[in-house]
Structure 1
Amino acid sequence: MSSAVDRHAATLARDGWCVFGRAVEPRLIAGIEADLNPRFAATPLCQGAFYGERTKRFGSLLTRSPMIERLAMHPMVLDIVEQMLLPWCERIALNLTQAIEIHPNALPQLPHRDQDMWQGPKGGLEYLVNVMWPLTTFTRENGGTRLWTGSQFDQNVPALPEDEAVVPVVVPGDVLIFLGSTLHGGGGNASAAPRRGIVISYCLGWLKPFELQWLVYPPQVARHFSPELAALVGYVQHRPNLGNVEGQCPSILLGDHVPDHLAAVDALRPDQAEAAAMFVRSQMGELS
């Protein structure tokens, strides 16, 4: 398992994307698609040139199908994502869960890098990793995801020739993983049937996510999640003291009773805790 994670992570770092074949059983994907069918049918087409006016999108997938947790918490996928992101944060966070249906005659999507939603410096760190789970087989003809291999290394280039894009063929059960710094876009659908997929993305734990997780999964919803999933959607502090509620871990909101009065409790990195303790000791020494 460790060698497979390292191999896929190395490919992801080198090419900007990788395919992890047969990550889950196809019947799991079929069950998820069955759960999502009514939502696909009821969701209107998007508006705007970026989202695509022949495309449907909807989020909040952890409340749409109980099986989505199996994808969001896939151990090997999380290990690969953490190899890419943990150098720049203490813990990763869920950035987005979104179902996408590209209809026949849809145009190709504008090539873009998802990290550009944040206006921080680019090139020295990764902000997010995208994980695409196909519900139907992705091909070039039906609008499979276009990727520009190696584009993560020159992020000042806003576009590259269309004929340099690759479109991996991925089937239900496979997973396509690509960096937020990789130039990509949905393809145009020249087939007679819609192309369906799920994207689950993970970002640095200190970023504001694309999909505002705490509103999408408020405490009355998140208290039914496993502790690990609740932490991933944001019910945990990111040291030092980031994302707290009255100075405490926001997981306190998931209990049966939230006290009206709480004591703020430090949540510092070890180096910060030691620096603070040393300062207090020095001050105590001056007073004695």
Structure 2
Amino acid sequence: MPNVQHFPATADPAAIMAALRRDGAIIIDGLIPDAAMAALAAEIAPWLEATPNGRDDFTGHFTTRTGALVARSPRVRDLVMHPLIHALCDDLLKPFCERWQLHLTQAIRIRPGQKAQAIHRDRWAWGTHLAHVEPQLNTIWAVTDFTADNGATQLVPGSLDWPDSRVTEPHEIVPAVMKRGSVLVYTGGVFHGGGENRSTMDRIGLNLTYTLGWLRQEENQYLSCPPAIARTLDPALQAVLGYAMGSYALGYFTPPLPPGQGPEVVSPQWVLGHGDGLSGFSDSELLASITAQVRS
């Protein structure tokens, strides 16, 4: 059976990246203190409890998936912006883009009785068109302990170069066993899947993933964290959400305002109050005017 390499929170990012490029997945132990993760769990608990189970075998009939976490949880924002994870994103994704962005926020709760998820690649979110680049870096933060019995993520280390049609054999799969506060880091190309929960307790993981700035996000961050909320956040987090240009000419918009009453080409940052404003309009009035004209 292959192994998933574990690193301490103080490990050299270069050593982490070397293993990640080789195996497609690694675990960083104890990156967040246990008490901090417990506080995060309490913060997101109301939304987890209100989320229904999945709708099919892949999403899980005994699994809940709760999104919009940047808008809902200040503590999740801190994890989204963790400097070590950002350093890994720079190393893995920057060779293929000018800017990377947040791709998905999802609290995944695997309940007792949930069967193992089909082994897959996350880059299949874009079909099978991106085998020539690495499109994403994924993290699953352990909100509870991950064990072999409670649904720990199943990994196939070393599967990065496999063809998409390759069928995984049982002896090639290893569970991502880790303690609360640890984080599994894996690429879009490694084969993996949610594990079977044979225990009597929920397994909760926080799936925060990042992707190239020129790709469409799996979770639409402009709707999950709309401008009215995004404008209250730190500018660096706003940019990670996607409220920034993906490259020189990627992601601009034209405010659909009356003739002469607004700029013609602006960055997404403009809607959050950055850059030249619209004379005679406050930010709230501007948003109300745009919304009313779009609806009409």
TM-score by length of 2: 0.84
Secondary structure of the residue aligned to 1:152 is coil
Q: Equivalent residues in 2 for 1:119-138 (5 A)?
A: 119=127, 121-138=129-146
Q: Equivalent residues in 2 for 1:138-217 (5 A)?
A: 138-217=146-225
Q: Give 1:132 deviation, angstroms.
A: 0.5
> Is 1:259 the equivalent of 2:278?
yes
Secondary structure of the residue aligned to 1:151 is coil
**Identical positions, percent:** 35
Match of 2:54 in 1: 46
> Is 1:82 the equivalent of 2:90?
yes
Match of 1:10 in 2: 18
Q: Deviations over 1:180-208 (max 9, x none)?
A: 10100000000011111100000001100
Q: Give 1:154 deviation, angstroms.
A: 1.3
Secondary structure of the residue aligned to 1:129 is strand
> Is 1:55 the equivalent of 2:94?
no
**Residues 201 and 162 (structure 1 numbering): CA distance in 2 closer, same or farther, change over 3 Å?**
same
Amino acid at match of 1:110: A
Secondary structure of the residue aligned to 1:11 is helix
1:104 to 98, 112, 123: 112
**Residues 260 and 113 (structure 1 numbering): CA distance in 2 closer, same or farther, change over 3 Å?**
farther
Match of 2:289 in 1: none
Q: Deviations over 1:102-148 (max 9, x none)?
A: 01110000111010111363332101111000111101110000000
Output the CA distance in 2 between the equivalents of 1:110 and 1:3.
Answer: 32
Provide the aligned length of Structure 1 versus Structure 2: 261
Say whether the 8 Å CA contact 2:99–2:247 is kept in structure 1: no
Secondary structure of the residue aligned to 1:56 is strand
> Is 1:240 the equivalent of 2:248?
yes
Q: Equivalent residues in 2 for 1:29-44 (5 A)?
A: 29-44=37-52
Say whether the 8 Å CA contact 1:135–1:198 is kept in structure 2: yes
Say whether the 8 Å CA contact 1:123–1:155 is kept in structure 2: no
Output the CA distance in 2 between the equivalents of 1:94 and 1:155.
Answer: 27
Output the CA distance in 2 between the equivalents of 1:120 and 1:183.
Answer: 13
Match of 1:264 in 2: none
Q: Give 1:37 deviation, angstroms.
A: 1.4
RMSD: 1.8
Output the CA distance in 2 between the equivalents of 1:74 and 1:114.
Answer: 21
Q: Deviations over 1:159-181 (max 9, x none)?
A: 21123101121111111000010
Q: Give 1:18 deviation, angstroms.
A: 0.5
> Is 1:250 the equivalent of 2:268?
yes
Q: Deviations over 1:219-265 (max 9, x none)?
A: 1110011111000001100113111122221101011884289xxxx
**Residues 3 and 53 (structure 1 numbering): CA distance in 2 closer, same or farther, change over 3 Å?**
closer
Amino acid at match of 1:174: S
Structure 1 residue ranges without an equivalent (≥5): 262-288
Match of 1:224 in 2: 232
> Is 1:23 the equivalent of 2:31?
yes
Amino acid at match of 1:76: L
Amino acid at match of 2:273: G
TM-score by length of 1: 0.86
Amino acid at match of 2:272: L
Output the CA distance in 1 between the equivalents of 2:187 and 2:154.
Answer: 13
Output the CA distance in 1 between the equivalents of 2:127 and 2:279.
Answer: 37
Match of 1:91 in 2: 99
Mean Cα deviation higher: 161-170 or 150-159: 150-159
Amino acid at match of 1:32: L
Output the CA distance in 1 between the equivalents of 2:40 and 2:153.
Answer: 20
Output the CA distance in 2 between the equivalents of 1:2 and 1:170.
Answer: 16
Output the CA distance in 1 between the equivalents of 2:208 and 2:249.
Answer: 26
Output the CA distance in 2 between the equivalents of 1:119 and 1:174.
Answer: 30
